[in-house]
Amino acid sequence: MKIFDKLTRLDETKRKWISITITVSITGILSLWGIYGIGEYGIALFILTPFLIGFCSTFLYGYKNKITKSEAIWIGFTTLAICTLALIVFAIEGLICIAMAAPIGILLTWIGSLIGYNLLKTTTTSTPSILLILIGIIPLTSFVENKIKPELTSVTTSIIINAKPMDVWKNVIEFPQLDKPTEFIFKTGIAYPINAKIVGSGIGSVRHCNFTTGSFVEPVTVWKEGKLLKFDVLEQPAPMKELSFWDIDAPIYTIILFQKKVYLN
């Protein structure tokens, strides 16, 4: 292809950085489209995208040019590092999410680089087609994932409290300011409850369970004092505040509508 042939006529340094720039641009557009356009976090973002980073950068750099395996891996990891830095700089993801995704991202970028390198060694005619197919598969996978409805699972928990039902009731509908947790995990930004307040009484009242990242808004649907409290959850805060230099507003923190029941026996 002519566009790829132009790269082969560049000197090594220019070819290297143009390959990185093109790969970062492609993966950036696909990632933004998947996250903010399609609203999907899944296989396309966490599996296919890091693989594309390694494969695309290696292919563009080594197309019709001799490169070593170490050079292929180097350009893949360099591209991954720049993509990761862009996620932080443009407030798309925070440090905690990036750290959690790093092991699989590094592994798949490495695999993508090795596959790209080995394809270049055996043939250069089919590699451009494979690259274009891979680029097309990523948004297609996001669309498919977005249409798949998750299975609903009912979860029931119980806690035995040695107290009178009415004493427990008072702390179910609202509770005073809690002490700050001392565990390290909560210092990373994971949300924890502060207090709970209720506006009104009976059916139609609204309970606000306040966390460090915001409030659960819970309109009461069943009120049997001392026996049963049932409410919907219309709004929920983010599960954590990302460690970042800027405020992160990632669509992964979606609102989940559900119901909750509290029985007192």
Cα–Cα distance for residue pair 220/234, rounded to 1 Å = 11
CA–CA separation, 94 and 113 (whole Å): 26
Q: Clarify whether residues 201 and 240 are in a common domain.
A: yes
Model's pTM, two decimal places?
0.70
Q: Does residue 48 belong to any structural domain of this protein?
A: yes
Q: Do 96 and 202 lie in a common domain?
A: no
Domain contains 155 = no
- Domain span at residue 249 reads 165-263
Give, for all 265 residues of the chain, the pLDDT tens digit.
556 666 667 777 888 899 999 999 999 999 888 888 887 778 888 899 999 999 999 999 988 888 899 999 999 999 999 999 998 888 777 777 888 889 999 999 999 999 999 998 887 666 788 888 989 999 898 888 878 877 777 777 788 888 888 888 888 899 899 999 888 888 877 888 999 999 999 999 999 999 988 899 999 999 998 888 899 888 888 777 766 666 666 555 444 445 555 656 5
Burial grade of 219 (CB within 10 A; 0-12, 13-18, 19 or more) = middle
